[in-house]
Amino acid sequence: MQSKREREKQGREKLTRIIETCKSVEERSLDPFLVDIDESINTAKEFLPEWKIPEDLCLDAETIHRLASVIKLQSEWVKHRSTSLYTDPFLLQEKLMRLDKERIVETFMMAWHPIIEFEQISLHSIMEALQYWLNLLPLNERWKEQPPQEVAAGHATREELVKERILREQMFSEELTSFWQQLKERVTAKGKDGKITYWGFVGAETYGETVDRAFLTSFLVTYGYATLEVYPLEEEIFIKPNEEPEVKIGKKQLVSMPIPIPVEDWQRWKRGELN
Amino acid sequence: MSKRKANYAAKVKRATHMLFYKRHKKPGVKGWELRKALGSDYPKVLKVLDDYLKDLDLKVQTVFEEERQIEKPNLEQLDKARFLITLRGELTPKEAKMVGWRIDDLAGLSIAISHIISNKGMAPRKEVEELLREKLPNWKVGLNIDRYIRYGYLTQDEGEQLYLDWRTRAEVDQKALIDSLLRTET
């Protein structure tokens, strides 16, 4: 008596063999009638009750899929044989082998009607091309280097440079110090335990201003004017001004803390949904 | 000449220019291009041109997108089809030499095409190569098949299966080829 495992193994082997035969018929254009569809279907049917795991059921499905493809090929084969173009390939091959080259070409000539096409230039194209050539500047003129334009040197006032956004209105260090003072004042007025929420400090009337404040805040923290307190679980960030700028290098491991400032968050802050 | 006739004569001239002169990489003109240039009655214009060409042993050939010829095509099928001028009658082998074909290469093409036709329009490249090797030197076989592919007579897929391409559909009367081959006495 065959054990269950042995029977399953035998079934898998049989289905794999059917799949391989179908594949070779499809890929190598073999006669699709080489596959005995009835017998293959019976084999698949016979083993179907044995399959329990998904892999075996997939194998069964693939077998059916491959058999369906072969049936399609058989149908095409029958259709082709019924057309006037059908010729037994072996018969034709035999014929071709027996004919000499001259006879093959003679036969081909009876069925070949080559395409007629001109590749002749017209007078109109020549005239157009001539006109183009006449209007075309010589290369040395087209590729001539443009000398740099001379501009007389002059003086620019600080106000002009600020207007051109080359200089900021205040020196950066001055701006940072006044921003630090602003942080201290904001903490005294609105903060709790000597600190204020990040958005409570950087948030401003316009989005651009908010980004500007976030940019300066990052320098406050980097240069030791303030400390960030991050509570990841609560998703809260506080900023705490230091009494004096602290030099952190060498004392602690410094970490980088990217804080995104998306417009959506700024809008939420404006609506009072973000502290 | 009536106004209508003059109009058709002008359209026939325009169609002749479009069809005879190579405009794209592939010869011929698409139906939609003719419609744009000649108007929606371009099939009629082509019919008139075809009648003119009869005396010159030329014809307007239609190659449909589908592999088979269509008996009564609709406008959409015509728009997508390619129109070309081909020889109506036959060339003699001597004339074929003038067209630029060596007898070996032409025989090879004939063998490749007829083998593919008899295999339902598809045959492995290796099989065609083996067939050609019977009568052509080995070094020439691969080169010739590549040349047939380059000219548009055959096409090849990733699985190295060869099929008939647009130029065979335009130039070769497949049924006539098979019939004559089978009729030829060895």
Residues 142-171 of B with CB under 8 A from A: 159, 161, 167, 170-171
Q: Which fold has domain B93-183?
A: Arc Repressor Mutant, subunit A (1.10.10)
Per-residue pLDDT band for A85 (boundaries 50, 70, 90) equals low
- Annotated domain spans of chain B: 3-87, 93-183
Give the three-class secondary structure for A76.
helix
B97/A109: higher pLDDT:
A109
- The answer to whether the beta carbons of residues B34 and B83 sit under 8 Å apart is yes
Residue A92 sits at the vertex; the CA angle it makes with A91 and A97, to the nearest 5 degrees, is 100
> Do A113 and B87 touch, CB atoms closer than 8 A?
yes
**Confidence band for A121, pLDDT divided at 50, 70 and 90:** confident
Residue A101 has what pLDDT? 84
Residue B147, pLDDT > 90, answer yes
Residue appearing with tokens 């307190």 = A229
Closest by Cα among A183, A181, A202, A205 to A194: A183
The count of other CB atoms within 10 Å of the CB of residue B4 is 8
Query: Please, are residues B39 and B11 in contact by the beta-carbon 8 Å criterion?
Result: yes
On chain B, the residues whose CB falls within 8 A of the CB of A86 are 118
pTM: 0.53
Q: What is the pLDDT of residue A31?
A: 76
Residue B125: pLDDT over 70: yes
Band (pLDDT 50/70/90 cuts) for residue A91 is confident
Contact between residue B116 and residue B128 where contact means Cβ atoms under 8 Å apart:
yes
Write down the pLDDT at residue A249.
56
* Structure confidence at residue B19 as a pLDDT band (50, 70, 90): very high
CA distance A96 to chain B (A): 7
CB–CB of A59/A20 below 8 Å?
no
Min Cα separation A124/chain B (Å): 13
Q: Which of A102, A112, A119, A121 to probe by mutation at the B interface, max B CB count within 10 Å?
A: A112
Question: Does the beta carbon of B20 lie under 8 angstroms from any beta carbon of chain A?
Answer: yes
Identify whether the C-beta of residue A32 lies closer than 8 Å to the C-beta of residue A25: yes
- Between CA A268 and CA A45 the distance in angstroms is 63
Please report where in the chains the tokens 């098979």 appear, as a residue.
B178
pLDDT digits (tens, 9 = 90+) for A195-213: 899 988 999 888 888 988 9
Cα B177 from Cα B186, distance rounded (Å) = 16
Percentage of chain A surpassing pLDDT 90? 9
Q: Find, among A120, A112, A116, the residue nearest to B20 by Cα.
A: A116
Residue A233: DSSP 8-state: T
Third-level CATH fold of A172-270: Arc Repressor Mutant, subunit A (1.10.10)
Size of interface A-B (CB pairs under 8 A): 141
Partners of B111 on chain A (C-beta within 8 Å) are 96, 104
Q: Strands, DSSP E only, in chain A?
A: 196-197, 226-231, 236-241
Residues of B in contact with A124 (CB under 8 A): none
Confidence tier at A250 by pLDDT (50, 70, 90)? low
Q: How confident is the model at residue A126, as a pLDDT?
A: 79
Contact call for B90 and A112, based on CB within 8 A: yes
Residue A89 pLDDT: 75
**What is the reported pLDDT for B145?**
95
Give the pLDDT score at B56: 92
Measured between CA atoms, the residue of chain A closest to residue B23 is A119
Annotated domain spans of chain A: 4-82, 172-270
pLDDT at B158: 86
Nearest CA in chain B to A121: B21
Average pLDDT over residues A235-257: 76
Can you say how many angstroms the Cα of residue A208 is from the centroid of all Cα atoms in its chain?
Answer: 31
Region A29-54: mean pLDDT is 86
Res. A73 pLDDT band, cuts 50 70 90: confident
